[in-house]
Amino acid sequence: MRFFLLLALLAARFTAGACAAVGSPPSTEVVSIAPARSKVTFSYRPERAEAKVFLAGEFNGWNPTRTPMERMGDGFCRATIELADGRYAYKFVVDGTWMADPANDVREPDGHDGFNSVLVIGGAAALEATFDVSAARVGDGKIEIAACKHEPTQTMWMQQEADGAVLVRFRTLAGDVESVALVLDGGQPQTIPQAMAHTARIGSFDWWQIRIPNGHVGKSYGFIAIDGAERWTDVAEFRVPQPQPEPRFRTPDWARDAVWYQIMLDRFANGDTTNDPPNTRPWTSAWRTTSPWETASGQTFWEWSVFNRHYGGDLEGLRARIPYLKSLGVNAIYLNPVFEAPSHHKYDATNYVHIDDNFGSKGDAEMSAANEDLLDPSTWGFNQSDRLFLEVLRELKSAGFRVIVDGVFNHVGETHVAFSDVRGRGATGSESPYADWFEIESFEPFVYRGWAGFGQLPAFRKSDDGLASATLTKHIMDVTRRWMDPNGDGDPSDGVDGWRLDVPNEVPMGFWRAWRDVVKATNPDAYIVGEIWKRADAWLDGETFDAVMNYPFAQAVVAWVSGDLKPSELDARLATLRLSYPEQASAVLQNLLAGHDTDRLVSMIANPGRGYDQANSERPGSRYVGARPSPDAYRRAQLAVLVQMTYVGAPMVWYGDEIGMFGSDDPFCRKPMIWPDLGAFEDPDERIDEAQLAAYRAMIALRSASPALRRGAFRMLVADDARDVWVFERLLGDERVIVALNASGKTQDFALPDAEWQGFDWTVAYETPQVVATATSATSATTATTTAPTSTTGAEAGGALRARASQSAPLPPLGGRVFRGTRK
């Protein structure tokens, strides 16, 4: 039972004065300041003496500028922070470039084709990193007690649900015990142990879970682990916590049913050519060619004409395509920034007060700016572009859509009203009422700090707990209220339904806590989602966001369907997220696969082995293949979408992925949407893939028809690495769904124990379309064509019979089958 190892590691943790964490690298110094708490100093010596170095990691929300490292006389840059005992991933950010600690050999993949450094502090934490699962055997009568754990103060171990019930989890060494039971009421003679369900295997540990219904407040509980003849009882006494009068964390109920569709307006649809920006490109023109004006000033395709294009998409175009969105089956819209800005993407705001006039009525911006005081919201009117936005918003809502917009509150563009005022004053810029809004390093000569080193995106100045400027903070709060309740009557039904927040980890959490209060006071049912690329435990505590864009989900799913990840690894990654986040958040996470900052889904699948959003540019010298992908890549993309539409959380589709649009990273992922009524594109490869569109519609309909897929509990049934098969269950009330997926390139046998099917009437709700090889030339070259997605319902003759036959039928290659059961 290896108690000596535990004692030795714990003893090594505490020494007089400075002490190192067990196995800590020479780049860190750990000093104990209290039980289970230390001061940790990180050190790094940059090659360039003038380099700016920051520390980023799980302990500061991966903020690349929040923790600067101070240069010392010995040439090293250092930062000291306080940390509780535990395991922390981190990196250094050197002149904007992320890098692992070169002096630390303990690393883990970062999901971006690189590595995070890992520091473990504390003897108990270090012990957990040393467990050897190879010695564990189920049924051998031995239990690794040191691995057994329950920590009720942490979300991963205990969660209070909305109805007062409590979700309790217990951990054991992977493959070490046969079962775990919860003993409620302190083990009184009449108490019967309640079996806990095995919910996940993550790394070296198995996780067990049970739900304690409301009505047991204050009762004691403990755990029994059983393996063979061995029976170990946890002697610690835990108590069911008092439920909070109001749940600390409540997310919008509607978001559980959302199927999101992300739109960048300039590239979606042009419904009014009178508001087009100067030098608007023809919508159907060949992407890789340049227009005469793009090279007139000496620019080339890559520097920088392809990045500066406009295609004229606007609000009227969006309004005209509402029927298409309805036919696709999505019910929630995320709009990239819509506020006044010079670029196509609008992340370089000129102001937040008005909608961009190239989306509405040209010339609005100048007229509005001339008559308004940025610091006084009582002077802000609604111009024609603003009113058109509200009209389209009203039509979308009437059609059943929820709508959120992008909030970019970390930085603006150089044309922003406030920044222009500061810079325009020259040496007297400090006298501007907006001088404290920005990171100004010098007024004469004028030098400012831009976001992530970009010279055209002035960053807002930060304090330790928010934005440094009180007037800036008030301005953003006023803007937030303006677009959530435009007429200010207290009824938010005429406003946006929430916000997607750009790079929120760049802004200290104190601001977001205050901002959330404003959002929820304006509309308690509003949805807040943050762009956090890594695990986001710190952001999902009920004080900042409702959800995050679930990039770890995308990374894992794309890697699996691309052949870069085993199903057991996929399952473990996703289980870690489910256990780490509150259920309220997990149910409403934006489960994207691709977006405006990545290559297109089908293209990333066609270029495997790179890591998510890594080495995905087509710049000269790149090996990335940007041509239209093969049928194999499209089929793998369908498999990824099938995971997306059946898994926990809210799926999100990047415009055009559903019709098979392809392309590398920005800007190739932002080509204009293909519409059949515009005629053929000049590039014949830019065309709608009808089979892909049909599959998307069928899979979205599958989710929409199933409460269990939108709201049900999750249980893994099979993770077979040898066959590349993953099977899981979604369960809600009397509905049970079994999702069987095969990521291998060949047919795989599929069978579950009879007990898994008993008690339900089954139908096949979805099956991946069959691929038929068709000869295309005398040389026997073939192309893949697909049949329509197949499904059955209980009303179809023979549906139940077919389902029974399918329960043991092989799974199609790169495909899956979804069974829907109703309790008998």
Please list, in sequence order, all residues whose beta carbon lies within 8 angstroms of the beta carbon of residue 480, skipping any fewer than 6 positions away. Answer: 407, 499, 515, 518, 519, 522
Helix (H, G, I), strand (E, B) or coil at 154: coil
- Helix/strand number for the chain, H first, E second: 18, 39
Distance CA 218, CA 238 (A): 9
Q: To 10 degrees, the CA torsion angle through 485, 488, 493, 498?
A: 10
What is 279-296 written as a DSSP string?
TPPPTTS-TTS--HHHHT
Residues 458-492 as b or e (16 or more Cβ within 10 Å = b): bbbbbeeebbbbeebbebbbbbbbbbbbbeeeeeb
Name 19's bridge partners. Answer: 30
212's tokens: 């304690």
What is 58-112 written as a DSSP string?
GGGTT-SSSEEPEE-TTS-EEEEEEEESEEEEEEEEETTEEE--TT---EEE-SS
Taking alpha carbons only, the member of 596, 590, 581 closest to residue 551 is 590
Question: Which amino acid is located at 445 in the chain?
Answer: P
Helix (H, G, I), strand (E, B) or coil at 33: strand
210's tokens: 């049970």
Helix (H), strand (E), coil (C) string for 194-243: EECEEEEEECCEEEEEEEECCCCCCCEEEEEEEECCEEEECCCCEECCCC
Name the residue with tokens 């023809």.
282
151's tokens: 């920590």
Helix (H, G, I), strand (E, B) or coil at 31: strand
Total length of the chain: 824
Are 52 and 100 in contact by the 8 Å Cβ rule? The answer is no
Rounded alpha-carbon distances, angstroms, from residue 622 to 96, 204, 302, 372, 628:
22, 39, 13, 48, 16
Q: Tell me how far the alpha carbon of residue 641 is from its chain's centroid.
A: 15
Distance CA 382, CA 368 (A): 8
Name 71's bridge partners. Answer: 77
Helix (H, G, I), strand (E, B) or coil at 5: helix
| E strands present in 420-554 | 440-443, 446-448, 462-463, 466-467, 498-501, 527-530, 547-548
| E strands present in 122-178 | 158-160, 166-173
Residue 160 backbone dihedrals phi, psi, to 5 degrees:
-90, 130
Helix (H, G, I), strand (E, B) or coil at 171: strand
Q: To 10 degrees, the CA torsion angle through 92, 96, 99, 104?
A: -20
Distance CA 657, CA 605 (A): 12
Taking alpha carbons only, the member of 793, 625, 633, 777 closest to residue 701 is 793
Active-site residue numbers?
502, 531
Distance CA 264, CA 611 (A): 25
What is 359-372 written as a DSSP string?
TS-TTHHHHHHHT-
Name 654's bridge partners. Answer: 262
